[in-house]
Amino acid sequence: MFPRSSLLILILALSASTLVAQSARGPMMGGILSPPANQRPPGLQFVGIEQKLNGEVPGDLEFRDELGNPVKFGDYFGHGRPVILNLGYYQCPMLCSELLEGLVGSMKALTLQLGQDFDVVTVSFDPRETVDMAAAKKRDIMKRYGRASAASGWHFLTGRADQIKILTDAVGFQYQFDPKTGQYAHATAIVLLTPDRHIAEYFYGVEFSPRDLRLGLVQASQGKIGNLTDSVLLYCYHYDPRTGKYGAVISNVLKISGVATILILGTFVFVMVRADRSAAHRGLGRAT
Indicate if the pLDDT at residue 278 is higher than 90.
Answer: no
Indicate if the pLDDT at residue 196 is higher than 90.
Answer: yes
pLDDT of residue 246: 72
Question: Nearest CA to 30 among 245, 209, 267, 190?
Answer: 245
The pLDDT tens digits for 144-170 are: 999 988 999 999 999 999 999 999 999
Indicate if the pLDDT at residue 24 is higher than 50.
Answer: no
Residue-by-residue DSSP string for 104-159: HHHHHT-SSPBTTTBEEEEEE--TT--HHHHHHHHHHHHHHH--TTGGGGEEEEEE
Yes or no: say if 205 and 189 are a contact pair by the CB < 8 Å rule: yes
Indicate if the pLDDT at residue 279 is higher than 70.
Answer: no
Q: Looking at the DSSP assignment, which residues form a beta bridge with residue 70?
A: 64
Give the residue-averaged pLDDT of 125-134. 98
Q: What distance in Å separates the CA atoms of residue 80 and residue 71, rounded to the nearest whole number?
A: 19
CATH assignment of 42-226, among 3.30.1490.100, 1.10.580.10, 1.10.3720.10, 3.40.30.10: 3.40.30.10
pLDDT of residue 250: 45
pTM of this structure: 0.71
pLDDT of residue 243: 73
The pLDDT tens digits for 70-119 are: 999 999 998 899 999 999 999 999 899 999 999 999 999 999 999 999 99
| 221/287: higher pLDDT | 221
pLDDT of residue 21: 38
Indicate if the pLDDT at residue 2 is higher than 50.
Answer: no
Question: Nearest CA to 64 among 129, 153, 159, 151?
Answer: 159
Residue 5's pLDDT band, with cuts at 50, 70 and 90, is: very low
pLDDT of residue 191: 97
**Hey, where are the domains in the chain?**
42-226
The pLDDT tens digits for 174-191 are: 999 988 888 999 989 999
The pLDDT tens digits for 206-264 are: 999 999 999 999 999 877 665 556 555 445 655 677 776 777 654 443 444 444 455 45
